């Protein structure tokens, strides 16, 4: 996958939904290219707090998974 693909896909989604139905968009591609968070809100009157809270929940979950993975790798290294 090219690193620009998620952004190109999001741009296409925004264009498909038209000017009057855009509420916000976020695309996050970390340095390793995986995982990707891609969120589009098509409700222009949507609650901004809910939009950011949903993204924060996704980011927090991914950070927790990465932290657990790192701890598991450290525990495995200590068993050698």
Domain membership of residue 21 as a residue range? 5-78
pLDDT band at 3 (very low <50, low <70, confident <90, very high): confident
Cα 31 from Cα 63, distance rounded (Å): 14
Name which of 26, 18, 15, 24 is nearest 45 in CA terms.
24
What pTM was computed for the model?
A: 0.73
> Which residue has better confidence, 80 or 61?
61
pLDDT of residue 78: 63
**Domain count of the chain?**
1
Residue % of the chain over a pLDDT of 90: 45
Q: How far apart are the first and last CA of the chain?
A: 36
Cα 34 from Cα 72, distance rounded (Å): 19
pLDDT of residue 8: 94
Assess whether pLDDT exceeds 90 at residue 58.
yes
Cα 68 from Cα 66, distance rounded (Å): 5
What's the whole-number mean pLDDT along residues 15-38?
A: 86
């Amino acid at each position: 996958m090219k690193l620009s693909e998620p952004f190109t896909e999001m741009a296409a989604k925004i264009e498909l939904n038209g000017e009057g139905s855009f509420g916000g968009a976020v695309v996050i591609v970390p340095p390793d290219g995986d995982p990707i968070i891609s969120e589009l809100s098509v409700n222009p009157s949507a609650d901004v707090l809910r939009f950011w809270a949903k993204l924060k929940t996704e980011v927090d979950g991914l950070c927790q998974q990465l932290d657990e993975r790192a701890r598991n790798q450290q525990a495995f290294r200590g068993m050698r």
